[in-house]
Homo-oligomer: A and B are copies of this chain.
């Protein structure tokens, strides 16, 4: 399957209705995952606020993880060493362990598993991996999943702005700087990682209002500013929108604004994610890079075995 076909599967991915039988009472949710799998927990943490959600992207679980923890291990391949390490630790501590994977070692671990289709790049399976969490904790129903699917299909059919932006970044040889804000902080991070993996390009992410306390101070006087292309999200977000406008004015910086379609945060999140997919794909194509190639990451995994 080529990369464009992979992107075309997202509209089907969000229709899966799998969910977990979580315990009635628990203290916290701990989600372990790396890279294109780990982004799922991070995105979820911005949509669910009823319990503390701690996302792990390292080898170890914190001391507090125990019997009252809902632990979710997410790895598309099922063989990510950091996630296996955390899952083993959570099992030993007696946590309620749930798994999302397409196979590998993780598919034989935990109390309940959602096994998703294999054959995609992990970063292209974001719908398969995110939906079990949304179905479980946000109680998404079939109607809502249909709406998401339709919105994603719209992006498949109309991504001219995304492609134009992706091409412009490559042709002007710019490093993208993506400024997010809640609940789209991790959309900015997703875009950064898609530029990294798909386009083989360095990229930077950050978020309002925190960046107004430090980053902002550099934008007036830094050297090499013209090497960077600043992007943020458009729409009406109260104080944050005022901060975005003020940052542009005070630092004489132009931010390209991508305004999501969608009627709520979740819909806008998926719109922006898929926008970023097409944008980074076009940057890859314009640079003559294969968006599927992740040989550096594979070479590294071999070297640290």
Contacts and interface: CB of A to CB of B under 8 A. Distances in A.
B220 A296 contact: yes
Q: Size range of the interface on A?
A: 35 or more
14 contacts: A34-B213, A36-B214, A54-B54, A57-B209, A196-B217, A196-B218, A201-B221, A201-B222, A202-B218, A203-B218, A213-B297, A242-B304, A246-B304, A251-B296
A200 B227 contact: no
Interface in A257-294: 287, 289, 294
A225 interface: yes
A63 interface: yes
A236 interface: no
**Integer count of this chain's copies in the complex:** 2
Specify which of A52, A63, A242 lies most central, judged by the most chain B CB atoms within 10 Å of its CB.
A52
A15 to B, nearest CB: 27
A217 B28 contact: no
Interface in A34-91: 34-36, 38, 49-52, 54, 57-59, 62-64, 82
B52 A52 contact: yes
A247 interface: yes
Interface of A: 27-28, 34-36, 38, 49-52, 54, 57-59, 62-64, 82, 173, 175, 181-182, 192-193, 195-197, 199-204, 209-210, 212-225, 227-228, 239, 242-243, 246-247, 249-251, 287, 289, 294, 296-297, 299-300, 303-304
B35 A49 contact: no
A243 B301 CA distance: 9
Contact of A289 (B209, B221, B227): B221
